[in-house]
Every structure is written in C-alpha cells, then in structure tokens.
Amino acid sequence: MITPKMKDAVLNAICEPMLFDKIIDTKTTSFLKELNIDFTALQAILNQFQRMGLIKDLNLQHSNTSLVIHLEALDFKNRGGFFMHEENLKLALEKLSLEVKQLSNDFPDRVERFATIGAAIATCLTYVSGAH
C-alpha cells in the first residue's frame, strides 16, 4: 500500500539534489533500493507527482529514470508534504464532526439529518486514518 510517508520519501529524494527545472537522470535500481520500494509503487507515485505539477517529462524505466522537478515540489515538501496534508485533512474532518454533534444538540428536530452527516464524516475519518 502506498502511504503518505512513502510519497514523502520519494518527494524528499527527488528534491535533495536541489536541481529544479533541469532534466535529472538517475539509476532506477539505486533509487528503488534507497527508498526501499518497488518499481510499481515508484511509478504510481511519480505519475501522481506529474499530474500534480510537481514534476514533468517523466521517463521511468527499469534501468534509468529522467524527470524535471519543479520548484513547487520543494515548496510542497517544505509545507510538510503528503503526511502533513493528510493530517490537516484529518483534523478538519474531526472538527467538522464535533461541529455536527454540537448542531444536533442545538437543533434536536434535525438530529436524524445530522446523524447521517456525522456517519459520513466518520467514514471519511476511518478511511483517512487507515491511509497511514
């Protein structure tokens, strides 16, 4: 399973050389060994990075990998990366859950509707908490 911590490890590794907006070439096998992940996971993570605009011109092969890293990747890393993004989402959902509980106490005539919303939030929290 790909976790936020795994994505952050890849993000840290690609940002480490501090070479932005230039083509970077690396040996895929040493990259995989350094990160202790398999090729399929690396491929999925780097494809996501490309969709997010953190990297471009990705050419991932079993022997070599080349890509261009945007400065936005470093900015995202410095703001806590994927783990912090996930933690912020979890906190926001927990806060929302508490607010829905308070609303159900304040408006007992709408308790069924709030219970449905609360159940949806709880489901999201379980999913987010399980993603680590």
Provide the phi-psi class of 38: left if phi over 0, else alpha when psi is between -120 and 50, else beta.
Answer: beta
Indicate if 72 and 85 belong to the same structural domain.
no
Indicate if 89 and 125 belong to the same structural domain.
yes
Condensed to tens digits (0 to 9), the pLDDT of residues 33-79 reads: 999 999 999 999 999 999 999 999 999 999 999 999 999 999 999 99
Indicate if 23 and 62 belong to the same structural domain.
yes
pLDDT band at 84 (very low <50, low <70, confident <90, very high): confident
Under DSSP, is residue 25 helix (H, G, I), strand (E, B) or coil?
strand
pLDDT of residue 132: 44
Indicate if 31 and 93 belong to the same structural domain.
no
Indicate if 25 and 72 belong to the same structural domain.
yes
Indicate if 94 and 63 belong to the same structural domain.
no
Number of domains in the chain: 2
Better pLDDT: 103 or 37: 37
Does the model's pTM come out above 0.75? no
Query: What's the whole-number mean pLDDT along residues 83-112?
Result: 77
